[in-house]
Amino acid sequence: MRTHQVLIFSFILALAQLSSQAQFRIFAGPQMSSANFSIRNAKQSTEFKQGFMAGIGLTNAVEGPLYFSPSLYFSQKGYKVSFDRPVFPPDSAARNNNTTINALCFAPLLQLNFSKGKSHLFVRFGPAIDFALSGKEIFDTAAGKQVNRSMEFSSVGYSPATAYANVHLGFEHKSGFSIFANYEHGLSNLNNADLGPMILHRVVGLALGWKF
Q: Which pTM value belongs to this model?
A: 0.89
What's the pLDDT score for residue 147? Answer: 97
Kindly state the percentage of the chain with pLDDT values over 70. 90
Domains of the chain, each with CATH number or no CATH: 3-80+97-132+154-211 (2.40.160.20)
Among 32, 47, 34, 99, residue whose Cα is nearest residue 91: 99
Mean pLDDT of 31-56: 97
CB 94 within 8 A of CB 87: yes
Q: What are phi and psi of 16, to 5 degrees?
A: -65, -40
Question: Which has more pLDDT, 49 or 18?
Answer: 49
CB 163 within 8 A of CB 129: yes
Chain-wide mean pLDDT for the chain? 92
At 122-169, the pLDDT tens digits run 999 999 999 999 999 999 999 999 999 999 999 999 999 999 999 999
How far apart CA 7 and CA 58 sit, in angstroms, is 15
pLDDT category at 212 given cuts 50, 70, 90 is confident
For the cut 60, the answer to whether the pLDDT of residue 20 exceeds it is no
At 25-40, the pLDDT tens digits run 999 999 999 999 999 9
Integer angstrom CA distances of residue 167 from 11, 19, 112, 143, 182: 20, 25, 11, 42, 6
DSSP 89: T
Q: What is the 3-state secondary structure (H, E, C) of 26-38?
A: EEEEEEEEEEEEE
What's the pLDDT score for residue 10? Answer: 59
Q: What are phi and psi of 131, to 5 degrees?
A: -125, 120
Burial 156-177 (b: 16+ CB within 10 A, else e): ebbbbebebebebebebeeeee
What's the pLDDT score for residue 11? Answer: 59
Out of 14-18, 48-52, 70-74, 198-202, least confident range: 14-18
